[in-house]
Structure 1
Amino acid sequence: DFLQDEKKADLINSYLFFIEKENNLKPVLFPQEKKIYKSLDELLDKLENEKKLYRETEIKIRFGSESVNEETKKIYICPFTGKVFGDNTHPNPQDAIYDWVSKCKENTERIGGLKSKRFFVSEDPEIIAKYITKRKEPITKIVFSSVITGKLFNSKKAVIDDFKKHHVKFLTLMEVQNQNKFQIEDSLLKFIEKNLTEEKIKNFVNLLANYKEFEPYLEQWVG
């Protein structure tokens, strides 16, 4: 398939394609380091060992805000839903209650075809006390932050999935060999040096010579 797709593929590139598939290689570029690694797993192991992939951290989660508390002196109440606004927990409680009842789905009262703006007001401490609810205490949760972006994720797996999706690029062995912009990591470089020898390329040619379908390519490469 490679030779059919690459009509002018030369011997070296064809050989690189062959050893890439034979060894199940999937080189990966990590642009942040300007370096190409032998595999994604190798890169991930390195970053995890160096603590350059994610950090464990704590966040506090609060549950809503109080509408009424012990300091509240006046409240505005929606008669249709019980929604309440306190004079010390909302910057404009009267405007807020007007806005609420005018949009409230449960408000079916109409005056002149428009929704009623009716609401209750109370300064009675005993009435106000009935609307005081104890807010849940905030909880602490362990999450993970990406070292690269600083974004928070719920799990290590989510950090790694994001890293795979946005911060690496898979290359072919041919692309690795034919570029000079990025450094090649040692294990991948040693693999290339070990396999890209005259003797091994000759063995590759001899292997292909056993198959008639490769004759046109061999004639092109070795004459």
Structure 2
Amino acid sequence: MTKGIEISADLSDKLQHFLHETPEVELVTAYLYFIQNKFKLHPVLYPKNKVIYQNAEDAVRAAEKTNPLWKEAEIKITFSRESVNELTKKIYICPFSGKVFGDNTHPNPQDAIYDWVSNCKENTERIGGLKVKRFYVSEDPEVIKNYLDKTKVKEPIKRTVYSSALSGKIFNTKESVIEDFKKNYLKPLSLSEVQSQNRYEIEESFLEFIQKQLVEDKIAQFVEALADKKEFVPFVEKWLA
């Protein structure tokens, strides 16, 4: 005899809330909501690859198989409270001299960094005989903190940081690059959204999981489990009508 589906008290509460918030929801959508919560799924879409993954960690692993999400970079740090202070949120860094422009300490920091690297004496990189206009950008508070005035330090220092392969922005740690990727390059989806769309590919193992769950017998067991709980009877009756 096939074992029926068990619905924990916590899942029951979540399902009740969901059904009362969306009373016209169809049976399959309710079932997928149950499955998503039961297995603690957090599907994400990686639009660049046009693939949906079971969770952000799977997306990170897949992305790094193609190209690393980060690479090491070396920056030179000079200290000046005129350029960076506690209110600075974004900085533009000259990789040759360590000169930095803050978003709150200069009226147009992007133009300023272009002008600076174009004339920087330490910039020896050339393309077509002209100095390259290469610079770094960072919004990582830990990177910005490195540039705060340190009165005991007289000379610039060098430090290894990590550059995002997607945005080119600089981060203090590899973990920060990964978190930026998860936050800005992945789109969270519900399991129902995953199942109902046909625009994007679903990662193979995730698709296999969905197909194993989305079968008539398991949906029937789900309905039977709900029918045993009086608070769900009105919804069951509507689905079976």
TM-score, normalised to structure 2, is 0.59
Partner of 1:182: 200
Partner of 1:191: 209
- Deviation above 2 Å: which 4+ runs of structure 1? 45-52, 57-64, 135-140
- Match for 1:163 among 134, 158, 181? 181
Partner of 1:22: 38
Partner of 2:51: 35
- Match for 1:209 among 206, 214, 227? 227
1:139 to 1:12, Cα distance in 2 relative to 1, 3 A: same
Q: Give distance in 2, aligned partners of 1:59 and 1:48.
A: 24
Q: Give distance in 1, aligned partners of 2:224 and 2:77.
A: 67
Partner of 1:56: 72
The residue identity in structure 2 corresponding to 1:26 is H
1:139 deviation in Å? 3.5
1:217 deviation in Å? 1.1
The residue identity in structure 2 corresponding to 1:157 is E
1:184 deviation in Å? 0.9
1:143 deviation in Å? 1.1
Q: Does 1:13 align with 2:29?
A: yes
- Cα deviation code 1:67-122 (max 9, x no counterpart): xxxxxxxxxxxxxxxxxxxxxxxxxxxxxxxxxxxxxxxxxxxxxxxxxxxxxxxx
Counterpart secondary structure, 2:197: coil
1:51 deviation in Å? 4.0
1:50 deviation in Å? 4.2
| Matched residues, number | 153
Q: Give distance in 2, aligned partners of 1:155 and 1:49.
A: 20
1:179 deviation in Å? 1.3
Alignment of 1:64-103 (within 5 A): none
Q: Give distance in 1, aligned partners of 2:232 and 2:55.
A: 30
Q: What is the percent sequence identity of the aligned residues?
A: 46
Partner of 1:2: 18
Q: Give distance in 2, aligned partners of 1:172 and 1:63.
A: 47
1:62 deviation in Å? 5.2
The residue identity in structure 2 corresponding to 1:19 is I
1:8 deviation in Å? 0.7
Bigger Cα Rg: 1
Q: Give distance in 1, aligned partners of 2:49 and 2:66.
A: 14
Q: Give distance in 1, aligned partners of 2:233 and 2:52.
A: 34
TM-score, normalised to structure 1, is 0.63
Q: Does 1:146 align with 2:164?
A: yes
1:63 deviation in Å? 6.4
**Structure 2 residues without counterparts, runs of 5 or longer:** 1-16, 81-152
1:49 to 1:141, Cα distance in 2 relative to 1, 3 A: farther
The residue identity in structure 1 corresponding to 2:216 is E
Counterpart secondary structure, 1:203: helix
1:222 to 1:55, Cα distance in 2 relative to 1, 3 A: same
**Structure 1 residues without counterparts, runs of 5 or longer:** 65-134
Q: Give distance in 2, aligned partners of 1:136 and 1:28.
A: 47
The residue identity in structure 2 corresponding to 1:189 is L
